[in-house]
Structure 1
Amino acid sequence: MTDARADQPTTRHLLARLEPLRTRVMPPLDRIGASVTSILSRWPDAVRAPKDRDREKLALEMLFRIGKWQWENITTQRVISAAVAVFDDERRARPDLAPVRKFYLSEIATREPGAFLDGMVGVYLDSFTAGSDHTRQLAKALGQRAEDLGGRHRRLTEALPSLFHPDAVVLELGRLMLASDDPYARLKQMGLSSPHTTGLAKAAHEVFIERLKPDLAEPDARQQLFNWLTPESGSVLQSGAGPAVEALLSAWRDKTPPDALRNELSEQIIAAWNDPRLHTGGIWSGFDPSLRAVLLRWLTHQDMKFFCNMVTATQDSHMWPPRRDFWLKLYEDKMIDEAWVAFGSEARRYAQENLVRSGKTDMNRRFGRQLDRGSSTSLLIMRIGNKIVVDGCHSYKTHIFRVDDKRAPKLYQVTYHCDNIMRSSPNSKPHNSIHNWSQWVLQNV
């Protein structure tokens, strides 16, 4: 008789038939992190700041609603937009809006976690003003709710433990910026979506510049400064940039940087904040005159070198090198106060390809154009004391005008016509005798 158990699979056989165990592992979190960063970058704030023309209306609407306690047809977004208006620099101390400010502080204390609470953190950051009553009041109220903040602001409080201590946070953030090679990227990583525009970052900017200033003769410190002022992932800082550029130039107040560095800094400054010879607004309106003069000396030298290098490379004449040396010596002797170049078309192309190293340089604003003679002639226009001196490449004569002569060409114009200058010139000299020509220039300037 056959044993029935013999036909039954043994435990060993059953185990052998089982699929091998597969250990499940957590997927890499890099993609999730990148997605979160992308979302925060695309939608950095729950509520956008209202336009200036709408702010008074929003503030008065909130005053009315609080007085009548009417809350029909209003969204959290509108409440936060009104808070931006109520706590901006124009309205934050207005006596008639005191009930509105009191209302917001009360709501911070009692409202459940969510959009309102997180939105008020944004109001605090944007309106931050060191030493002000409204900043202290917002900081106190929000500090008591720090545990209830959303992910973005929890990340910020972790990076800045003193966030809601206004007397300490400015210095802490300034030091953090100083410790970072790329302060702009660091602040964005922390949760400040628009580092240049928040009131807190503006306050820390002053600390950062003051601490960085002694080291700005060094390349790493300069790069750190430009990473903050002109970030690759953001717009150029305008408000508050003047003192930063002054700090940069002050490193060279009493000494001259090498030519390559001088040219690089000049082009970076012009590309970001315009040429002070052509624009008087922006950062240049309140700029330190002595430091502005440093930059103007650099630009004068740079334009003369542009002109001289272009002629040296494109004109084969034994008379040019002594002319070039004469003009450069006058500059070194501090006789040439200002200089401006008007390139012809071929010289312009040469300058773009060989002389201007910065890809940000706008040739249409950086130099003038000379249009006569098929644009074959380029001009160097200089102010030497009370005289305007115009020299040109090839066989173009040197022309000298008094500054107050109505016929004298103006510096920093967009276009010039060399034949018109020649016909209106009261005093000119060819270069056929360099000795006589150089003596004539010295006698007439």
Structure 2
Amino acid sequence: MTRWPDAVRTPEDRDREKLAQNMLLRVSDWNWQNITTQRVISAAVAVFDNERCNRPDLLDVREFYLSEISSREPGAFLDGMVGVYIDSFQPDADHTRNLANALSMRSSDLGGRHQKLITALPQVFTPDDAPQALAQVMLETEDAYTKLKSIGLSSPHTSGLAKAAHKTFIKSLRPDLAKAHARQKAFNWLTPKDGPVLQAGAGLAVEALLSVWHERTPPDELRNELSEAIIAAWNDPRLHAGGIWSGFDPDLRAVLLRWLTHQDMKFFCNMVTATQNSHMWPPRRDFWLKLYDEKMIDEAWVAFGSEARRYAENNLLRGGKTDMNRRFARQLDRGGSTSLLIMRIGNKIIVDGCHSYKTHIFRIDDINAPALYKRQYYCDDIMRASRNSKPHNSIQNWSQWVLQHV
């Protein structure tokens, strides 16, 4: 077998069964013609992955790899099998223990990269201790993602060992996540500057970030910062049911939805306050925010007209995390001069608009009621479909009418 670079080439899922079966045939026939070390290691990734690591028909292949670890000369094969062990790591799994035992006997024969890993993590080949020890390494640094790469874990988010450590890392950070320092540590790991956003296991972390605020409300700036960071990384749960949101704690999801409702109302109100001089707007704004504070408004969604959209992008959004095209809907009638605030209060949909646009109230089961979270709206179509509306020319009468109809 020829030498190959000190890295494990991860085969595509569709190729893994073919690789495993080819290796089974070679072991059975003891035929090693026309095969490279690289292909042997790629097959090992398949044989020891979650789908195949316990398959009885591949037992002889797994035994072959363990035997080769004990007898193979130092070089590409041994170093490649360390990568297979780290990536396929599962606490309490037989294949993990077997690989750890075999590799620990050859630890002094491993290459420089893995010697560095052993120095940083002496427990690496002790499966019962390795996840906790790696989590401690993560806790002791400001940037866990960069640290793990520096000690030899080339793909920190996807390796099985790091996934096991992730749970302990987040559990340990959880009591301190109300503090900026701990939150930054969490986000440096979850959304690294020089790496991909963590997906597998991220739900656990986002639940931890939100659980701190289950019984209390963070300051507006922090609430906005957290909600924008979360939806930028893992999508808006109002628009996406999959990903981390499919198995998310419903009570904590409700916390985030309440934040987003508040944030969307504030975006709308701040935009109108800055761009409209009507004396009737401040009491309207105060009325809607009072209903929110009284927990009457269940959901809210903003459809910005083109003018307001430009203003919001230039003046209201901070930190560069918000994608306007995903974060807000568009209002397309009237040349984009009107923006809409669409709310749900119980079984009613309320549509309010800037300038002289009337407030419209629909029953949620009305086929003409505008649905929340659409990508675009037409304010004149909503107006024509409405059978229950009122202008704002008398704020007292208007507010009484809203309360009466919701």
State the TM-score bracket (shorter-chain normalisation): over 0.9
Match of 1:243 in 2: 204
C-alpha distance in structure 2 between counterparts of 1:392 and 1:421, whole Å: 11
Deviation at 1:440, TM superposition (A): 0.2
CA contact (8 A) 1:267 1:358 kept: no
Deviation at 1:354, TM superposition (A): 1.0
CA contact (8 A) 1:341 1:381 kept: yes
C-alpha distance in structure 2 between counterparts of 1:364 and 1:182, whole Å: 31
Q: Do residues 403 (structure 1) and 364 (structure 2) align? A: yes
Q: Which amino acid aligns with 2:353?
A: G
Q: Do residues 85 (structure 1) and 46 (structure 2) align? A: yes
| Equivalence map 1:313-392=2 (5 Å) | 313-392=274-353
Match of 1:40 in 2: none
- The CA RMSD over aligned residues, in Å, is 0.9
Match of 1:438 in 2: 399
Aligned mate of 1:260, from 215, 221, 228:
221
Aligned mate of 1:74, from 13, 30, 35:
35
C-alpha distance in structure 2 between counterparts of 1:145 and 1:233, whole Å: 33
Q: Which amino acid aligns with 2:373?
A: Y
Deviation at 1:46, TM superposition (A): 2.6
Deviation at 1:298, TM superposition (A): 0.2
C-alpha distance in structure 2 between counterparts of 1:194 and 1:82, whole Å: 19
Match of 1:3 in 2: none
Deviation at 1:358, TM superposition (A): 2.7
Unaligned runs of 5+ residues in structure 2 are none
C-alpha distance in structure 2 between counterparts of 1:163 and 1:132, whole Å: 15
Match of 2:111 in 1: 150
Aligned mate of 2:257, from 296, 299, 317:
296
Match of 1:222 in 2: 183
Q: Which amino acid aligns with 1:124?
A: Y
Per-residue CA deviation, residues 185-205 of structure 1 (Å, 9 max, x unaligned), is 110111111100100000000
Q: Do residues 103 (structure 1) and 36 (structure 2) align? A: no
Deviation at 1:179, TM superposition (A): 1.1
Q: Give structure 1 regions of 4+ aligned residues with deviation exceeding 2 angstroms.
A: 43-47
C-alpha distance in structure 2 between counterparts of 1:96 and 1:343, whole Å: 60
Deviation at 1:45, TM superposition (A): 5.1
Q: Which amino acid aligns with 2:355?
A: H
| Count of residue correspondences | 403
C-alpha distance in structure 2 between counterparts of 1:409 and 1:324, whole Å: 22
SS state of the match for residue 128, structure 2?
helix
SS state of the match for residue 167, structure 1?
coil
C-alpha distance in structure 2 between counterparts of 1:44 and 1:113, whole Å: 13
SS state of the match for residue 82, structure 1?
helix
Q: Which amino acid aligns with 2:252?
A: L
TM-score (ref. length: structure 1): 0.90
Per-residue CA deviation, residues 402-436 of structure 1 (Å, 9 max, x unaligned), is 00000000101111000000000010000000000
Deviates more, 1:352-361 or 1:256-265: 352-361
Match of 2:145 in 1: 184
Unaligned runs of 5+ residues in structure 1 are 1-42
C-alpha distance in structure 2 between counterparts of 1:287 and 1:247, whole Å: 11
Aligned mate of 1:201, from 144, 162, 167:
162
Per-residue CA deviation, residues 30-86 of structure 1 (Å, 9 max, x unaligned), is xxxxxxxxxxxxx99533111111111111111111111111100000100110000
C-alpha distance in structure 2 between counterparts of 1:367 and 1:348, whole Å: 9
Aligned mate of 1:412, from 365, 370, 373:
373
CA contact (8 A) 2:7 2:83 kept: no
SS state of the match for residue 301, structure 2?
strand
Per-residue CA deviation, residues 361-413 of structure 1 (Å, 9 max, x unaligned), is 11011000000001000000000000000000000000000000000001011
Q: Which amino acid aligns with 1:299?
A: L
Q: Do residues 309 (structure 1) and 277 (structure 2) align? A: no
Match of 1:15 in 2: none
CA contact (8 A) 1:46 1:77 kept: no
Q: Which amino acid aligns with 1:346?
A: E
CA contact (8 A) 1:83 1:123 kept: yes
Deviation at 1:356, TM superposition (A): 1.1
CA contact (8 A) 1:44 1:193 kept: no
SS state of the match for residue 63, structure 2?
helix
CA contact (8 A) 2:304 2:330 kept: yes
